[in-house]
Amino acid sequence: MSGKGTVLVTGASRGIGAACVRLLARDGYDVAINYARSADAAEQLVREVVAVGRKAIAVQADVGIEADVIRIFTKLDSEIPPLAGLVNNAGILFTKARLDEMGQDRINDTLRVNVTGSFMCAREAIRRMSTKYGGKGGAIVNLSSAAARIGSPNEFIDYAASKGAIDAMTLGLSKEVGAEGIRVNAVRPGLIHTGIHASSGQPDRVERLQQFVPMGRGGSAEEVAEAVVWLMSDAASYVTGALVDVAGGR
Ligand code: NAP
Q: Residue 69 C-alpha to ligand 1 middle, in angstroms?
A: 16
pLDDT on residue 200: 87
CATH number at residue 31: 3.40.50.720
In-domain check, residue 55:
yes
pLDDT on residue 3: 84
Residue 2, pLDDT above cutoff 70: no
In-domain check, residue 171:
yes
The answer to whether the CB of 219 is under 6 A from ligand 1 is no
Pocket test for ligand 1, best of 8, 143, 197 (most atoms within 8 A of CB): 143
- Which one of 29, 35, 133, 159 is the catalytic residue? 159
What is the separation of C-alpha 75 from the centre of its chain, rounded to a whole number of angstroms? Answer: 19
151-204: per-residue pLDDT in tens?
999 999 999 999 999 999 999 999 999 999 999 999 999 999 999 999 889 999
Residue 1, pLDDT above cutoff 60: no
In-domain check, residue 133:
yes
In-domain check, residue 196:
yes
Pocket test for ligand 1, best of 196, 213, 220 (most atoms within 8 A of CB): 196
Clarify whether 159 is annotated catalytic: yes
Instruction: Provide the number of structural domains found in the chain.
Output: 1
In-domain check, residue 131:
yes
What is the extent of the structural domain holding 200?
Answer: 6-246
pLDDT on residue 91: 98
Pocket test for ligand 1, best of 10, 16, 44 (most atoms within 8 A of CB): 16
> What sign does the dihedral 203-204-207-212 (CA atoms) show?
negative
Name the average pLDDT for the chain.
98
In-domain check, residue 54:
yes
Angle at 176 between CA 175 and CA 177, to 5 degrees: 95
Q: Residue 2 C-alpha to ligand 1 middle, in angstroms?
A: 30
Task: Tell me how crowded residue 208 is: count the other CB atoms within 10 A of its CB.
Answer: 12
In-domain check, residue 1:
no
Q: What Å distances lie between residue 14 and 26, 216, 246, 247, CA to CA? A: 17, 25, 19, 19
DSSP calls for the chain? -----EEEESS-SSHHHHHHHHHHHHTT-EEEEEESS-HHHHHHHHHHHHHTT--EEEEE--TTSHHHHHHHHHHHHHHSPPEEEEEE------S---GGG--HHHHHHHHIIIIIHHHHHHHHHHHHH-GGGT---EEEEEE--THHHH--TTT-HHHHHHHHHHHHHHHHHHHHSGGGTEEEEEEEE-SB-STHHHHTT-TTHHHHHGGGSTTSSPBPHHHHHHHHHHHHSGGGTT--S-EEEESTT-
The answer to whether the CB of 195 is under 6 A from ligand 1 is yes
In-domain check, residue 79:
yes
Share of the chain above pLDDT 70, in %: 99
Q: Residue 117 C-alpha to ligand 1 middle, in angstroms?
A: 12
Q: Which atom of ligand 1 is nearest to the CA of 144?
A: 44
The pLDDT of 222-228, averaged and rounded, is: 99
Whether pTM > 0.85 for this model: the answer is yes
